Amino acid sequence: MSILTFRKIRGFGLVEVIIATSLILVFLVSLVAAYNLYLRLSLGNVRKVQATFLAEEGIEAVKLIRDSSWNGNIVPLSVDTLYYLAFSGSSWTATTSRQLIDNIFDRTFVLSSVFRDSASDIVESGGSLDPGSRKIVVSVSWFEHGATSTKTVSTYITNLFNN
């Protein structure tokens, strides 16, 4: 009877090895699949991060345009008109000519009128026109995975230097 018991234990050890190997293999395959998913998601975010930086750069570029001359650069721009930003030499300019960035991103901005109530707070409707302020909305669009994605940033600018 001791020989039969020995053979059962020996066969059981082989089953344990097969089960342990299977568990390790399932764990490793799951780990590789999770890494691939992480890699795919992180690479998919590259364009979103670039677009966000380009939108923020657009806000700063319009502020630089404003700083050089409100009356010469901001006032002549039509309200609710689509503009592009162009960097020429050492300064930014607003243009109506399309300017692709890296042949991928399309960055635009729109200026809107600002209205204030009697307490000088900005209101969406009503109030009186504030000629020394504009709302700016910068949008960055790109084509990816069969669809157009867009990041948008908005803020207000004022005639800070009375120029």
Residues 51-69: pLDDT tens digits? 999 999 999 999 999 999 9
Average pLDDT over residues 140-153: 94
* Number of domains comprising the chain: 1
Residue 133 belongs to a domain? yes
Q: Minimal CA–CA distance to 110: which of 131, 140, 149?
A: 140
Residue 102 belongs to a domain? yes
Residue 134 belongs to a domain? yes
Instruction: Return all residues near 158 (Cβ < 8 A) that are at least 6 apart.
Output: 132, 133, 134
Domain of residue 51 covers 47-158
* Band (4; pLDDT cuts 50, 70, 90): low
Residue 62 belongs to a domain? yes
Residue 63 belongs to a domain? yes
Residue 59 belongs to a domain? yes
Residue 13 belongs to a domain? no
Residue 55 belongs to a domain? yes
Instruction: Record the pTM.
Output: 0.77
| Residue 115 structure tokens | 């209205």
Q: Minimal CA–CA distance to 108: which of 85, 124, 75, 74?
A: 85
Strands 147-158 and 82-88: unpaired
Interatomic CA distance for residues 130 and 65, integer angstroms: 19
* Band (95; pLDDT cuts 50, 70, 90): very high
